[in-house]
Structure 1
Amino acid sequence: MTPQEFFLLLASVLASVAGQFFLKLGAAKLGRFQLANSVSHIFGILTIPELLIGLSCYALGAIAYILLLTRVKLSVAGPSASLVYVFSVVLGYFIFKESIPLFRLAGLGLIVTGVILVVWQK
């Protein structure tokens, strides 16, 4: 993977993680979803700034990913994008004080190892 390709991957992953962060903040403001409040939730999604920022971050991440796909095989880009899961768990731990059970930590290690094996070039 060239430095430009790595930058596109990193931009895509970080934008997606930022999107998840802002969606989580906005979802907390939105409150718990129930069928009775579905209309107000849909309106809330369109008016809560954090949710709009989160959706915008996802859009930027998608644009970076599309640009990455013009340069890298899907069999490399797709698994590499799974780094979003790793960063999301780390973000949840440090920002939202979520725990990371041992099995989840092991799973994250497997994801990182898998990505390294997928992108490794001789």
Structure 2
Amino acid sequence: MKGDLVTLQEFVLFLVSILTNSLGQFLLKAGAIKLGATAPHGAIAFLLGVLSTPELLLGLMGYAAGAMVYILLLTRVNLSVAGPATALAYVIAVLIGHFGFGEAIPPLRLLGLGLIITGVILVISRP
């Protein structure tokens, strides 16, 4: 593994990992809304509900794809850089919640998102 400098290829892996995980989150939320309408009770009914909801299955596949790309990333980048940089998924999750599901973004949450972005930039930058 190299030092702390992130190459363009590694940055693309970060983005693909974060975006596939974010797509997974979007699909899981959409599926959860759909599943909530069916109100499954009990573990078996819940599992059957999950397995019969395409959005949930696709969301899980998105998470799996993101994990595979993240593993590839970990073969190239230090964990001390890769781990914190994935915090951008939190930013994307808030944006998905807002634009995809109409959730509010209070000012304090906006400040938090700015701090996360600043922190990620500092973590992946050359010291």
* Residue 42 of structure 1: how far off its partner (Å): 1.2
Aligned alpha-carbon RMSD (Å): 1.7
CA contact (8 A) 2:97 2:103 kept: yes
Secondary structure of residue in 2 paired with 1:8: helix
Could you tell me how far apart the structure 1 residues matched to 2:109 and 2:58 are? 28
Instruction: Name the count of aligned residue pairs.
Output: 122
* Residue 48 of structure 1: how far off its partner (Å): 0.6
Higher normalized contact order (CA 8 Å, seq sep 6+, divided by chain length)? 2
In percent, how many aligned pairs have the same letter? 55
Could you tell me how far apart the structure 2 residues matched to 1:61 and 1:73 are? 17
TM-score (norm 1): 0.94
Runs of 4 or more above 4 Å deviation: 32-35
CA contact (8 A) 1:22 1:50 kept: yes
Residue 47 of structure 1 aligns to which amino acid in structure 2?
S
Select which of 42, 48, 56 maps to 2:47: 42
Structure 1 unaligned blocks of 5 or more:
none
Structure 2 unaligned blocks of 5 or more:
1-5
TM-score (norm 2): 0.90
Could you tell me how far apart the structure 2 residues matched to 1:63 and 1:91 are? 22
Q: Report the equivalent of 1:28.
A: 33
